[in-house]
Amino acid sequence: MPDASQFDFFAVPGEGQDGVVAAAAAEDVVELALRLPGSLRLGTSSWSFPGWAGLVYAERVSEQRLAREGLAAYARHPLLRTVGLDRTFYATIAAAEFARYAAQVPGDFRFLVKAHAAVTTPAAQLARRSPVAPGADRFLDAEYARQAVIGPMVEGLGERAGVLLFQFPPLAAPHVRDARSFVARLGDFLAALPRGPQYAVELRNREFLSAAYVDCLARHGVTHCYNVHPNMPTVTEQNSLLGEAAWRSGAVVVRWMLHPAQDYEAARDRYFPFDRLVDPDPRNRAAVVGLLAQFLAAGHETYLIANNKAEGSAPLSLFTVARELDRRGDGGRT
């Protein structure tokens, strides 16, 4: 479990960098954090949500200010020991920008970094979302990943670099029809990456969940990211289909992304300002808790990243998961 000394300041409000104030954590929340395994890392997809006032932040602050200054206050919460860096999916950032983030969090905090979308999205699909320079097809380009993504992340975050996530979108029919070729190409890509960082792969095509895919991951020390998303089987089904080899290679990531009855746009409109659980999803929550308990019982560092669009408020989803894990009292502790 985490060192009790690191939570001494959590019971009272405190200032994050440049004055964003953290919400006071109740005594039972601090005690809950101390009981949970140190190998469990709970966090959200980004932190720039003014609606989290009273949950994560002491008062309502603008989205722009939270993006610039809110991370240190976010990292003061006893249950939030990781965060998803989503902006790196849309554009690469320099080592100095990673270092600015690292300077705002405690030494035990870890980042889940999304690789640039150009690495995981075929150029033709990417061009439908944003302009792509002629000849700039970076899909599964290991050299581009090394120079533009991995190098700056490792240099800037140092020991606070947790997992680098390669999130693939739903790939178009040619890739799905020839799943073996895609998995083979993925294997070549992973083989060419520098050793050291922990990598994870997230898919949005259930057709790729095969023995060949698992073997590809295991051979290169990469883990599967279990995602709660309407495009995919449940996380329980993913675990059953893939088996232990899909997560035994290192730190394992679960991402609770989207309510099964919503799409992203509808969920954003329905759940804004993300300050309450609008559509509790007990079925997926139970599946997530069971999966986390399995990974933690095996001694694995385990990340759960929750999105506001899963139930309405990512922090509240995480707090509920933490309490349910604590109540289990079996594999939920190491």
Q: For residue 263, give the CATH number of its domain.
A: 3.20.20.410
pLDDT the model gives residue 130: 60
pLDDT the model gives residue 129: 65
pLDDT at 325 over 60: yes
**In the chain, how many domains are there?**
1
For 173, counting Cβ atoms within 10 Å of its Cβ (0-12 exposed, 13-18 middle, 19+ buried), the class is: exposed
The pLDDT tens digits of the residues spanning 138-194 come to 999 999 999 999 999 999 999 999 999 999 999 988 888 899 999 999 999 999 999
> Is 241 a domain residue?
yes
> Is 334 a domain residue?
no
Q: Which long-range contacts (CB under 8 A, 24 or more apart) does 151-155 make?
A: 151/95, 152/92, 152/93, 152/94, 152/95, 152/97, 152/98, 153/88, 153/95, 153/98, 153/113, 153/197, 154/196, 154/197, 155/95, 155/98, 155/99
> Is 146 a domain residue?
yes
> Is 320 a domain residue?
yes
The H or E element containing residue 193 is none
Residue 177 domain boundaries: 4-328
pTM of the model: 0.93
Beta bridge partners of 167: 202
Q: Are 163 and 303 in contact (CB under 8 A)?
A: yes
Q: Which two tokens stand for residue 150?
A: 């991995």
Compute CA 40 distance to the chain's CA centroid, rounded to the nearest angstrom.
Answer: 13
**pLDDT bracket for residue 332 (50, 70, 90):** very low
Q: Are 87 and 152 in contact (CB under 8 A)?
A: no
pLDDT the model gives residue 285: 98
